[in-house]
Structure 1
Amino acid sequence: MPSVSFDHIVKKYGELTVLDDLNLSIEDGDFLVLLGPSGCGKTTLLNLLAGLNDVSSGQIMIGSRDVTDLDPKDRGLAMVFQSYALYPTKTVRGNLKFGLSASRLPKEEAEKRIAWAADMLQLGPLMERKPAQLSGGQRQRVAIGRALVKHADVLLFDEPLSNLDAKLRTEMRMEIKKLHETLNPTVVYVTHDQIEAMTMATKIAIMNGGEIQQFGSPDEVYENPANLFVASFIGSPAMNLFNVDIGVVNGEVVGTFSTGETIVLSAYPFERPPQAGAKAVVGLRPEHFARPEEASGDTALAIEVPVRTVERTGSDAILTLNFAGGLLAVRAEPDRAAGMKAGQMVPVRYPKSKINLFDAQSGQRM
């Protein structure tokens, strides 16, 4: 399967710039997820690749072919839409066959592809049913099958699971991931759901305001967010962010919170030596806090603060604590949270190796 690249892409609607000088390269066989909030430009970018919208300027390449001005049918793509877009009067077989209607394949080859897709997606018993007789998950499998029979170079998915309930979304994530592992196509997948992105992608492009904020593997964008937007967007609960003043105390680089508490930053891998008095934002993931008895010499922050609320979800619990003039979210085991009440003092520790630090002015990782 070919690579895909966007070079200096600009998309405008009148005076409104939706995408501004965007550059992105997708390697052959990658499963790229375009992730971001509503209105960030991810679906617009997908539609430009599909040929459903025209670029204002820039170039789109699929492999060695410039497809910027080609019609959708000539780009070697197949697309799965959010709304399934199945023909209600056609059976499952008819919908799969319609995906091949423009290809003018011999009948024998068309039937072979339909049988192959039906077998892969377990649609065999459903072939004579119409969409109204199918569940949401079955309809989505038909929509994917209609794309697969084209044997397209690149598969595009536009929020394909957003209409499904939680259980079906989990099942379909597994189906799509298995599909990619089996066929290894180049995939571009749009979603605002970070769970979909983290579980399926080989690469993630996080978008906001028509720009790519960070591009990397799921682990890279989660563990080392490039800026405050990525830090606050990736993770549930979101990363705790607090303003600190950077200084040196007893030979240690520390950050001082607005209420006077300090966090040790000497072990942080600064790109440049920090300046005393610099304003920064420290990021603390809720799941990286440790019990006091589990703490070690790696501890950067050791505090005892009051509980605001306790949310138990069964598999874990989220403690919301009052700290540094704001709220601090800490993920905890259910047995630890059992019996905790508002106002109770709770000791927590945070490891040096898990600190994230951002410049308060630019928002970029320090």
Structure 2
Amino acid sequence: MTAPPAARTDRPLLEVKDLKKHFPIRTGFFAGISGYVYAVDGVSFAIRRGETLSLVGESGCGKSTVGRTVLRLLEPTAGEVWLDGQRIDDIPLRRLRPLRRRMQVVFQDPFSSLNPRLKVREILAEPITNFGLASSASELDDRIADLMDKVRLPRDAVNRYPHEFSGGQRQRIGIARALAPGADLIICDEAVSALDVSVKAQIVNLLSDLQDELGLSLLFISHDLAIVEHITHRVAVMYLGKIVEIADKRTLFAAPKHPYTEALLSAVPVPDPTTRRNRIILTGDVPSPIRPPSGCRFHTRCPHAFDRCKVEEPALRTVAPGQVAACHLHDPAAQPVARAA
């Protein structure tokens, strides 16, 4: 994948600062709140123009909740979200609406995310007309035809319904819908996980080509590191509601610094069957986000944990140029003296 194009400014397109999303737990309809699910608990990252940041981790770690909270499909509990220098997490929804055309999403299921009662033309026309981007019927037709060309579907397919397409074609329609209002940030929420292997490659290549052509920024949410390696510029690894490591693609895949990242990468299949990889098997289950462990949230499964990990939460600190990790093993002021029970 080519490097991101030169930015027009040093300011990131998207900045997320200490984002939190806690879901209240109620034991009955009239009962009070008995606790919270700490789905996202202090996440920070930035995405430059023309860059892809992949958010990866096990199912249930909170990565999809991050994407939906950034989009304000879920209201954040705390933290800040900045789009092109403008804070958007606390503005009224009526003022947010004009900004939504700049932030679009491609969902996981390419069938349920499309209205089965609408033809493709109506699906693509809806965001264009909602934001007043076409002044005439002919201009609307031209925009729709251009979208079909961009996602490599025949123009006459606009007269068909979603059920008449394959899964990969439906996902292309979803991508075209995200492009329709002129978005410069697209959040891909497990956008290829429901597709066959060969179709995944086609969609990833399409996203890469569109990024090069349009200068798009992508937040690519996935649990598939083999796919991530082909599309991303940087990777952020999440575990139980927190980011534990961020690095550029080459650095992270070659020299991960967090034990959880090492375990994830050890499970990625390698194309050469003769190549041996030391698989890291994590013991125990993922803790509940209702009662996350104290200290480092990974210490209950970490093979390198020591006493400090149980009581003190590690901060994200620079461990190499362009690489940060939240692990006490990389704090020069603290050496492991005893293993945690």
Q: What TM-score results when the alignment is normalised by the length of structure 2? A: 0.70
Secondary structure class of the residue paired with 2:160: coil
One-letter amino acid of the counterpart of residue 190, structure 1: I
One-letter amino acid of the counterpart of residue 232, structure 1: A
One-letter amino acid of the counterpart of residue 41, structure 2: D
Q: Which has the larger radius of gyration?
A: 1
Given that residues 88 and 130 in structure 1 are in contact (C-alpha distance below 8 angstroms), is that contact kept between their aligned partners in structure 2? Answer: yes
Given that residues 184 and 215 in structure 2 are in contact (C-alpha distance below 8 angstroms), is that contact kept between their aligned partners in structure 1? Answer: no
Given that residues 46 and 156 in structure 1 are in contact (C-alpha distance below 8 angstroms), is that contact kept between their aligned partners in structure 2? Answer: yes
Select 1:87's aligned residue among 109, 115, 127.
115
Q: Over residues 163-207 of structure 1, what are the superposed CA-to-partner deviations in whole Å (9 max), with x where a residue is unaligned?
A: 111111111111111111211111111111111211101111110
Q: Distance in 1 between matches of 2:151 and 2:45?
A: 31
Q: Over residues 34-91 of structure 1, what are the superposed CA-to-partner deviations in whole Å (9 max), with x where a residue is unaligned?
A: 1111111111110111110111111110011111034363333111111221121222
Q: Distance in 2 between matches of 1:99 and 1:157?
A: 18
Which one has the bigger helix percentage?
A: 2
Which one has the bigger strand percentage?
A: 1
Q: Which has the higher contact order (CA 8 A, sep 6+)?
A: 2
Given that residues 69 and 75 in structure 2 are in contact (C-alpha distance below 8 angstroms), is that contact kept between their aligned partners in structure 1? Answer: yes
Q: 1:319 to 1:30 in 2, by over 3 A?
A: closer
The runs of 5 or more residues in structure 1 that have no matched partner are 239-286, 288-312, 321-327, 330-357
Aligned length: 258
* Aligned equivalent of 2:75: 54
Matches within 5 A, 1:188-267: 188-237=219-268
Q: Distance in 2 between matches of 1:215 and 1:140?
A: 28
Between the aligned residues of both structures, percent identity stands at 24
Q: 1:236 to 1:181 in 2, by over 3 A?
A: farther
Q: 1:178 to 1:87 in 2, by over 3 A?
A: same
Secondary structure class of the residue paired with 2:188: strand
Select 1:102's aligned residue among 130, 140, 152.
130
Given that residues 226 and 365 in structure 1 are in contact (C-alpha distance below 8 angstroms), is that contact kept between their aligned partners in structure 2? Answer: no
One-letter amino acid of the counterpart of residue 13, structure 2: S
Given that residues 77 and 156 in structure 1 are in contact (C-alpha distance below 8 angstroms), is that contact kept between their aligned partners in structure 2? Answer: yes
Matched, 1:8 2:29: no
Given that residues 227 and 364 in structure 1 are in contact (C-alpha distance below 8 angstroms), is that contact kept between their aligned partners in structure 2? Answer: no
Matches within 5 A, 1:165-184: 165-184=196-215
Matches within 5 A, 1:1-366: 3-14=13-24, 15-70=36-91, 71=93, 73-75=97-99, 76-84=102-110, 85-105=113-133, 106-107=135-136, 108-123=138-153, 124-237=155-268, 315-317=272-274, 328=278, 360-361=305-306, 362=309, 364=328, 366=330
Deviation (angstroms), 1:4? 0.6
Secondary structure class of the residue paired with 2:245: strand
Deviation (angstroms), 1:359? 5.1
Q: Over residues 287-326 of structure 1, what are the superposed CA-to-partner deviations in whole Å (9 max), with x where a residue is unaligned?
A: 8xxxxxxxxxxxxxxxxxxxxxxxxx8x523558xxxxxx
The runs of 5 or more residues in structure 2 that have no matched partner are 1-6, 25-35, 280-302, 310-326, 331-341
